[in-house]
Every structure is written in structure tokens, then in C-alpha cells.
Structure 1
Amino acid sequence: MKREEDPKLVVTPEVFYRNRRQFMRHGSLWGLGHVLLSRTGLAGLAGLATAEAYGAARKNAKFDGAGLSLTPEELATSYNNFYEFNLDKDVTPATKNWKLDPAAWKVEITGTENARAFSVRELIEMGGGEEERVYRFRCVEAWSMVVPWTGFELGRLIAALKPKAGMKFVKFTTFGDAKIGPNIAKLPHYPWPYTEGLTLEEARHPLTLLATGLYGKPLPKQNGAPLRLVVPWKYGFKSIKSIVKIEFTATQPKTLWQELAPSEYGFYANVNPEVDHPRWSQATERVLSKSFFPKRQPTLLFNGYAKEVASLYTGLDLKKNY
């Protein structure tokens, strides 16, 4: 989908974030991917699939990335935040002991008529099958990238699950097992497990995606395998990784970052150049690239998806409800 301004984004520099993390390691993807063809032709979850088989997902022409330049795959898969593993951007080495079996992964669903644990393949089928969409991704740390995701609309899954009457929000939970994520035990003051939430209206929006892959391949561990959320108009921390539970609730759920730093991370977390983080500006962003010479570009309201999502927030003070 073209962004409002239809800008020609050039892959421009990424730099050290707050001088904490090195940007010289571009590890190769871990060999993940127990996948098998779903009814849309994309790999499902029964055996190891080739990249060619996984790349058979239909490409959604409405989200073809016109006017955008894709971030190099090796950067998008080696510059990540996944605090359950470590605080460094190169998460891959810390995932090496995680013996992930996507075919055995279960996601517990509650607050619906069909409340039970589902396999990822079941969710894919209930969600109408997988497709590829190119989205802009904006981190709250003021860097951005452009990624071709494979996944399915969360809204279609919600329709199939049939939430109970009175449900207004959706809560998502990541695994909380320190045997998988060694950093969980090292950060006992964090309110693990990682949780996030959306309003039911946000979750049903056609842009909201449950992703199973990127760049025509299964999600790597460091990118949130085997199932993650992608909400392109919100800051990246809302796009929770490695989901194990989806709950439909009547009240707004507390999220990990809200509990840990409520003055810095709000529930809505919409990309907004006029609402700064308390410790840095959100007016501009760095585009992830291999260059060492950083160049900024203006941050766009709702990450450039204002035409699609602004109506969700009619009458809402975006500065108070950050």
C-alpha cells in the first residue's frame, strides 16, 4: 500500500542507539521453519520447508510496498529487541539453546466461544490463510525499517473465534519461561511474562497482522517465531513476539511496559512525531541500513497510515493517550 505521501524511501543509516549496542554483527538466520503448505499455498507446520515453498504465499497487491525500499534482510533479522534473551540488538546467539518446534507450539485463546489451545496452523486456517504484505515498522527508539511480512489478518481470526459479549480489548502474552529466555531470570524486576494489548477495534482493523514469516521465510527466533503481532501504525514494542496466549477482555489490560515505566510507555503507543518520548524526540527517525553515516527522515503520524487508522481515534487526545 502506498503511504499518504508516497515517499521514495532510501535505505539510510542506522547508528548506535544511545551508545549501548554495537552494530557490526549481522548473523545469519537460524534454521527455523517447520512449515507446511496451508490452503493458500504457504508453508504450514508439519516439516522443514524450503524458502521457495514458504515464498509461495500470495502477495497482497494493496500492500505491495510501492514507494518503499525494503530493508536488507540481514539487518532486519540481526537488529532486534527481545529482552527475554538479552538487551543487545544481536539477539540470535542468545536463542541458540531454544529448541523451538513450531508444529508443537500452542496458543491459548480465552474470552471467546471457541476457547481452547490452538496450533499455529489451526490459527492460520481460521484466519483465512497467509499472504505477504510490505509494512513500514517504527521502533520507539526512533529507528525504522521496511519489511515484507507473511501472515494473516487478526480480524479474520477474531471473527472465527467469536468473542463473548462485552469484550472490548485483546491481551497478548509471550512465553515467560526462563529456560527459553535466559534474560528473564536476570531481570527479576520486570513484570514477566511480556504482555501487550489492543482495543478490540484496533485488533479487528484490516492492517493488524499475525505474522508467521518475513522475506518469504519462516520467522527466525529473534524476530518472534513462530507467531507474532504486527501493528504497523504503532511503535514496535506493541508488536509482541512468540505469542502463547490471546485473551479477550472487558477491561483494558496492563502491559509490561506500562507497569515498568508508565510515564514513558502508554497503552496506545501510536507513532506520533508530536509526542516525544520523555528521553528523546520522536520527530525524526533513522532508517535501518548498512551505512555508518546516519541520515534522518521525518516521522509521519501513525507511521504513514493515517488515512487507514485515524478514524479509530476520533475524539481521543493523542497526547494524553500516548
Structure 2
Amino acid sequence: MARRWTNDLTRADITPENLFVNRRQIMAGLAGAGLAGLVGNTAQAQEALEPNSFEDIASYCNFYEFGTGKGDPSQYAHLMTTEPWSVKIDGMVDKPGDYALEDILSEMTIEERIYRFRCVEAWSMVVPWNGFELADLLQMAGVQEGAKYVSFETLYRPAEMPGTAVPVLEWPYREGLRLDEAMHPLTLMATGLYGKPLPNQNGAPLRLVVPWKYGFKSIKSIVRITLSDQEPPTSWNMANPREYGFYSNVNPNVNHPRWSQASERPLGGGIFAKRKPTLMFNGYEEEVASLYEGMDLREFF
């Protein structure tokens, strides 16, 4: 299927893989474990920490289905079975059904997309994802006239996901987009990162990546996609609507209730490295601002 977007980031912009692997250890260490003197020097930060294996990538990734502890996802995500895998597509589509992942992938052109990626905690990265545009999958299913929203569900398999024994969220984990956001060429269904298949803790075998929104919008291990004409409930918005709106766009002009969103620190620069201004829509303003024309972005945050 034709590519509909051209990236302005290059491989030179990518956050080094071993920094991505160790990002939480680096953040925690620089903040208070005797590494605060490592400022602005990526090589020093790498040298001070023993790199994890690729299987331990993103050992803190808020995959609560495996526990709320920072190391829980990498410790327990191997329990999740990812083969075979299918995605139920239902609601306002012409061809509802269970789509086997191998059949989906046989119809898609997988490409690398280098995207800015921002955590709520005001750290930023540039990550090379592999995948295909969500729009291509929705077109395969046939979007019906009148559909306005797309909702997603994560796998809910308590026998393989020990974190679901604790009701920290209402399971299964749910997310949603407006249809025009979902059909935007930036919106990716990711199957890998750094040129490798997604590790389980990063959302194997299929996750969403919406680069102008905060990372928690990029739902992992997707098993269901539903088209509807009503705004769907989303997990963090249901749990704490004051802090997590439906849209969750990166917006330096709207603070999180507990911290400022106005600046960020690129991963690898050190705890005392100069912060940089947060870009509107995470740097994708030119591409996506028109989606929100006329909206009050303080009300629709």
C-alpha cells in the first residue's frame, strides 16, 4: 500500500538503543544514586550502567497487566503467549471478524518510521518503529459511513498476566482515537522497534504508536478494534479524568495537574543537561494541528 507521509527525522536523531533499553535506570540513577555528576555526556551515562539484554528493553513501561512495579513487565511479560494472534475488528465496518495477524501482515508493507516519543514524565526519545499505517488496516475492514471513533483493547488473559489480579485499572485496558486521528498517516500499527520484533513488554506482537500524543495512548498487545459513532471510554481517563483526558495530546501550554509540560529532557543528556522547550503536538504541529482547529485544547486535553 502506498506510503502517505515523509519523515523529517533521520537515523542520526535516534536515541541509542542501549539508552532506550536502560532509560529508567539512567533516570533513576542520575536523579539520586550517585550519578548526578554525569551531565550532558551520553558516553558516561552508558558507561556507568550495565546494559540490559534486548529482551529486557524498556523494563519500565507501565504495562500494568504484568504489575505496577518498575521491573514487573520485563520480569513477567514472557508469560504472555503471542502466537497465534488475531485481532477482532467489529462495530461500524463492512467486514467484521477475527483477522489473523499473519493475514494482516501479508497485506501490509512494513516500513521503518523514526518518531519522536514523549513520556508523561517529561523525558523524550526518538525511536525507530517498524510497522504499517493503521489507516490501511481500517480500510481492509471497510469503515462505514457515520463512524467517528476507533477504540482498542489490550489482551486480557489473567493466567498469563499476573497484574490483572489487582484492580488498579478496569480490565481490559482500553484506548481510543477519533476516526480522523486514526486515519492520519502518522498513526502506526507497530510490529517492531530498532529493527527487531517487539518484545512482549513493549506490546508484542502489535501495538499502536501515535507520536503526537503521550505514550500511554499507544496501547499495547491489541486484540480488538471497534468502530463506532460514540466517544469510547479509555482506561486512564476512567481512572483519573482530571489528569488524563481523552485526547492526551502533547501540549506545552496545558500543564499536567502535578507538573509542567512546557519543557522536556532528551534521554541521554544527563540530569543537569539543559532542558528544551516542548514542541506543540510533540513536533508534529504542521501535520496534525488541523485536526483540532477551532477546539479549546484546555477543555479537550
Q: 1:235 aligns with which of 205, 210, 214?
A: 214
- In structure 2, relative to structure 1, the CA distance for the partners of 1:20 and 1:154 (3 Å cut) is farther
Compare 268-277 and 278-287 and name the one that shifted more. Answer: 278-287
Aligned length in residues: 269
Question: Which amino acid in 2 is paired with 1:2?
Answer: D
- The amino acid that maps onto 1:96 is H
Is 1:15 the equivalent of 2:30? Answer: no
Shift of 1:290: 8.1
Task: Report the AA paired with residue 151 of structure 2.
Answer: K
Q: What SS does the aligned partner of 2:177 have?
A: strand
Following TM superposition, by how much is the alpha carbon of 1:180 offset from its aligned partner in structure 2, in angstroms? 1.9
Partner of 2:112: 132
Match of 2:201 among 209, 222, 240: 222
Relative to the length of structure 2, the TM-score reads 0.82
Match in the other structure for 1:276: 255
Aligned-residue CA RMSD (Å): 2.7
Match of 1:101 among 63, 75, 82: 82
Alpha-carbon contact 1:136-1:232 (below 8 Å) kept:
yes
Q: 2:184 aligns with which of 166, 187, 205?
A: 205
1:174 counterpart = 2:174? no
TM-score, normalised relative to structure 1:
0.77
Q: 1:259-270 maps to which residues of 2 (within 5 A)?
A: 259-270=238-249
Match of 1:80 in 2: 61
Aligned to 1:27: 52
Unmatched tracts of structure 1, length 5 or more = 31-73
Q: Which runs of 5+ in 2 are unaligned?
A: 1-6, 36-48
1:20 and 1:150, CA in 2 relative to 1: closer, same or farther beyond 3 A? Answer: farther
Runs of 4+ in 1 over 4 A off after TM superposition: 7-14, 23-26, 290-295
Overall identity of the aligned pairs, in %: 50
Change (3 A) 1:268 1:252: same
**Counterpart residue identity of residue 190, structure 1:** L
Distance in 1 of aligned mates of 2:110 and 2:116: 19
Change (3 A) 1:185 1:25: farther
Assess if the C-alpha contact under 8 Å between 1:208 and 1:231 holds in 2.
yes
- How far 1:97 sits from its partner (Å)? 2.6
Flag the 1:290–1:79 CA change in 2: closer, same or farther, 3 A: farther
* Counterpart pick for 1:152 among 110, 123, 132: 132
Alpha-carbon spacing, 1:311–1:157, altered in 2? closer, same or farther (3 Å): same
Q: Which amino acid aligns with 2:68?
A: L
How far apart are 1:113 and its partner, in Å?
1.1
* Structure showing the higher helix proportion among its residues: 2
